[in-house]
Structure 1
Amino acid sequence: MLQSKNSLDTVEVSVASERAEAVGGVLIAFFAALMAISQMVNGELEEQMMIAHNKVVNYSSWYQSKSIKESLKESELDYLNVLVTSGIIPEDKVVPVNSKIEVVKNQITKYGNEKKEILIGSSNIPVEDWIQDLDGKLGIIVGVKEWEQLAEQYDEATKKFDLGMLFFQICIVLGAVCIIIYDNPKLQKGFIILMVVCGIIGIIMSVYGYSIAP
């Protein structure tokens, strides 16, 4: 009688263990699929982040080149003003020099407006102030600050995805341990619960990362 009871208990434990193994295997496949999707999306976000960082560098260089041109024109303006105020220029040449001064002032203003548009973007200034073209088109400049903000947003999103994938990897490890452990349904159940908890955290992190991506 005792032997029959022990045999029955062994069968029940074996059945429970096999059931836990099956659940663990299904969860491993499920979370592995989610991790693969997260890796794919994260890869695209990282690519966009690199593009944004490159744009920051390129547009910053563009901004600096405008600053150099503006500084040169300001130096030229100072030189012309000194010539006029010193009286060195003959009277018949004063009018042409004054005209040149006005041209230089307009160029300085133009460079200043171009710098502003390159810095903050066309969308952040009035339409009538659009002055810097890109490939012959006005109003399509994405400013340095805008690219910096995009790069930060992509960086934050990829960090959340990385964290989510970490929890998915933990799920897979826990699932593997669950399968390895045999004839201990209670312990297997504990690992399954941990898998589900880590998986939920991974899903939350991934969804949050996707939601904050630009």
Structure 2
Amino acid sequence: MSKNTVEVSVASERAEAYGGVLIAFFAALMAISQLVNGELEEEMMIAHNKVVNYSNWYQSKSIKESLKESELDNLEALMYTNAIAEDKKSFVYDKIENTKLKVAKYKAEKKEILIGSKNLPKKEWIQDLDGKKGVIVGINEWKSLAKKYDIATRKFDFGVLFFQISIVLGAVCIIIYDNPKLQKALVITMVVVGFIGVVMSIYGYSLAP
């Protein structure tokens, strides 16, 4: 066996060793990224579900408000046309005032459900949740959270993709034999692509709420 052949074999084996170590390293990072990404996706689904639930809640308040507004219009029309007996007018007046209060209450509750308790003064906390006031996370807030989680998970997906490409390059590096130049190029490319995966994963994590 010639000296050049021995040198090529040694260089090739060294490249294979680097490739194997890097495969294990980037595979571990990919597993961590997938784990974190899975948790973020769960949070994103929770946020999306909250948007749907709170939107339905908001809609139910709107329906109740509309019904009370219609009732108020009818009562005021009756008073305007003098269709109410004199001895019943005080009762109708009270009914009108009570209906106005309910309409105002529904409006305030809708506002709190839409923008959240923390974005309102404490005196405007009207809607309770499980018997507690001031704990409403608004529809707009849930939408914002869902969007942030979505962006973060997309970055993690790109990171995982780059890790996968890096691992494939490492596998090719191991398969190729007695071509140290190509193996070296693959190792360098593998490191660069894997580094991009690390950057994308860190960026995705930084974007998560």
Does the alignment reach a TM-score above 0.5?
Answer: yes
1:43-100 CA distance string (max 9 Å, x none): 0000011000000000000000000000000000000000000011011111110111
Structure 2 CA distance for aligned equivalents of residues 119 and 29 of structure 1: 48
Deviation, 1:191, is 0.3
Unaligned runs of 5+ in 2: none
Structure 1 CA distance for aligned equivalents of residues 208 and 137 of structure 2: 18
Pair 1:156 & 2:144 matched? no
Unaligned runs of 5+ in 1: 1-5
Identify which of 77, 93, 104 aligns with 1:82.
77
Pair 1:133 & 2:128 matched? yes
Tell me which amino acid in the other structure corresponds to 2:137: V
- C-alpha RMSD of the superposition: 0.6
Q: Which residue of 2 aligns with 1:11?
A: 6
Q: Which residue of 2 aligns with 1:194?
A: 189
Q: How does 1:48-127 map to 2 (within 5 A)?
A: 48-127=43-122
Deviation, 1:146, is 0.4
Structure 2 CA distance for aligned equivalents of residues 182 and 85 of structure 1: 97
Structure 1 CA distance for aligned equivalents of residues 186 and 118 of structure 2: 53
Q: Which residue of 2 aligns with 1:47?
A: 42
Tell me which amino acid in the other structure corresponds to 1:144: I
Deviation, 1:172, is 0.4
Tell me which amino acid in the other structure corresponds to 1:178: C
Report the TM-score, using the length of structure 2 for normalisation: 0.99
Runs of 4+ in structure 1 deviating by more than 3 angstroms, as ranges, are none
Deviation, 1:40, is 0.3
Q: Which residue of 1 aligns with 2:18?
A: 23
Tell me which amino acid in the other structure corresponds to 2:162: F
Q: Which residue of 2 aligns with 1:3?
A: none
Tell me which amino acid in the other structure corresponds to 2:175: I
Structure 2 CA distance for aligned equivalents of residues 13 and 51 of structure 1: 56
Report the TM-score, using the length of structure 1 for normalisation: 0.97
Structure 2 CA distance for aligned equivalents of residues 42 and 210 of structure 1: 9
Amino-acid identity (%): 73
Deviation, 1:42, is 0.4
Structure 2 CA distance for aligned equivalents of residues 78 and 31 of structure 1: 69
